[in-house]
Amino acid sequence: MSSTVEKINSVNFNEVTGKGTVLVDFWAPWCGPCQMQLPILEKVAQRVGEKAKIAKLNVEESPDVASKFNIYSIPTLIVFKEGQPVKVFQGLQTEDTLVNAVS
């Protein structure tokens, strides 16, 4: 069901982001703003429903993916459409900003 935030990693990243619209939150457990972003992402997931997937990727567990997209500060959120990055946000983002980005 798309109304939850999906945890992704290096193994399933391309499969998850390859189709449709996917918002990926690049985060780490020790990052304060990342912890604040999670409940916002859950609300975004509920609002967009089936229109987009919402996912999070731990940069410490998947440094190869973080490196591929030049993630140097977190949280960084990237909107993918059909596997291609189309929008990038750095730092804590509001619910409305993210809903508008994937709509």
Active-site positions read 31, 34
C-alpha–C-alpha distance, residues 21 and 28, integer Å: 23
Nearest alpha carbon to residue 5 among 45, 32, 48: 45
DSSP 83: T
Q: 54: burial class by Cβ within 10 Å (0-12, 13-18, 19+)?
A: buried
